[in-house]
Structures are given as structure tokens and as C-alpha cells.
Amino acid sequence: LPAGGIRRRMALGIDVFPTALALAGVALPVERVIDGRDMLPMLRDDAPSAHEALYFYWVNTLGAVRSGRFKYHIRRPVPVGYALAPLMLQMPVGPWLFDLPEDSDESYDVSDRHPDAMGRLAELLRLRVEGDARNPRGFVSGAADSTL
């Protein structure tokens, strides 16, 4: 990356591991699904992000997915009331869709203006939830160490 250069591409902390392995000339483990991607092509050559989508978990719950400019959040309980009150209520709200280049703070739901993006990201999230349920430990089918 040239000094002072900026890459406006999708990447997360999960990409550090595969990038470090690539820098060291070490292959990724084959017995586990590795969600991260090598960022070197993006950093060195200004290549596009290697991710179609990025997934965001809250503890063990898949709560959001980002693809391109949009980020979709599931319907979930959100605290309502006063922070100093002895009892904090939680009300389910959402789902939401945010247009990140226009709203990086994720403050304004645009799902009514982008129903196609809302549907596409909801489907990506649904497929990921199904995949996680089928393979909660992330083993690659047929890998030698998949019986651990």
C-alpha cells in the first residue's frame, strides 16, 4: 500500500490471519473453514475485496451481514427506557438496512427504499445461519482432522 494510501474495500479483523500466513508463505489450514481472506491483492494491487459478504455475530448469534454498500441487521431486542432505571425493558425491533457510504453510523433504515437489497441480504444471512447449523464447528468435509 503506498504511503498515505486508502483502500475502501470490505475487510475485517478475520482477514489478518490469512494475510499474515500469505506474507509468511504458509498455506491456510485445510481442515477448518477460514472466513478471513488474504488482503494482499487488495493492499498491493488495489484489487476488489475478496468477500462477497461479511457476517457479524453477537456472541453466538448471527446478527448482521454486509455486502457492497449495504448492511442488513436482523430483528432483535433493543433496550428501551432510562439507563439509570432499576429495570431495563427490551423490545424487538428491526430488521434494518443501512446504506453505509451515506450512513456509516448505521442510524437511518433505508429498507423501504431498497427492497431488493433488503431481500438479497436477508437471504445471504438465512443461508449462512443454515450453514452454521449444519457445521457449527467449521470443519471441512473430508478433511483428515474433521473427527476431533
Cα separation, 119 vs 51, in Å, equals 19
Where are the extended beta strands (E) located within 9-137?
54-58, 61-67, 70-73, 76-80, 89-93, 96-99
Of 24-33, 38-47, 109-118, which has the strongest mean pLDDT? 109-118
35: pLDDT strictly greater than 80: yes
Q: Smallest Cα–Cα separation from 103: which of 72, 75, 78, 70?
A: 70
CA end-to-end distance (rounded Å), the chain: 40
pLDDT in tens, 108-145: 999 999 999 999 999 999 999 999 898 877 787 765 44
pTM, to two decimals? 0.79
H or E stretch including 130? helix 115-134
Return the amino acid letter for 116: D
pLDDT in tens, 53-103: 999 998 888 999 999 999 999 988 777 766 666 666 777 888 999 999 999
Q: Is 141 left (phi over 0), alpha (psi -120 to 50) or beta?
A: beta
Virtual torsion, Cα 7, 9, 10, 12, nearest 10 deg: -10
